[in-house]
């Protein structure tokens, strides 16, 4: 499956700078981008290479996402505060 969504450059830069792999997950407040370790990837996930890191996206969720954007990162960051 070829993803039909885009990834905001600010999200790409965050992933590259972090040096971590991430997974796009669902949450009650909407999609959230979590580092691997906080959540595990699944064998069926789409794997998108961003620099030397991987962004995992559920195949099911990929059908509904149009853009992976900064608020998805902020949901995680706000949980840390």
Percentage helix, strand, coil, to 5, in the chain?
30, 30, 40
| Mean pLDDT across 44-48 | 93
Q: What is d(CA 26, CA 14) in angstroms, rounded to the nearest whole number?
A: 19
Q: What is d(CA 31, CA 73) in angstroms, rounded to the nearest whole number?
A: 9
Statement: residue 54 has pLDDT above 90: yes
pTM of the model: 0.88
Q: What is d(CA 40, CA 34) in angstroms, rounded to the nearest whole number?
A: 9
Question: What is the strand order of the sheet 22-25 is part of?
Answer: 32-35, 22-25, 53-57, 46-50
Which residue in the block uniquely carries the two structure tokens 């995992």?
A: 56
Q: What is d(CA 13, CA 41) in angstroms, rounded to the nearest whole number?
A: 21
Statement: residue 1 has pLDDT above 60: no
Band the pLDDT of 81: cuts 50, 70, 90. Answer: low
Task: Note the pLDDT tens digit of each residue in 4-38.
Answer: 789 999 999 999 999 999 999 888 888 899 999 98
């Amino acid at each position: 499956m070829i993803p039909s969504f885009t990834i905001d450059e600010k999200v790409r830069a965050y992933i590259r700078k972090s040096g971590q792999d991430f997974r796009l997950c669902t949450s009650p407040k909407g999609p959230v981008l979590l580092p691997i370790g906080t959540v595990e990837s699944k064998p069926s996930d789409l794997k998108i290479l961003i620099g030397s890191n991987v962004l995992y996206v559920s195949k099911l969720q990929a059908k509904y996402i149009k853009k992976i954007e900064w608020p998805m990162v902020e949901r995680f960051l706000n949980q840390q505060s």
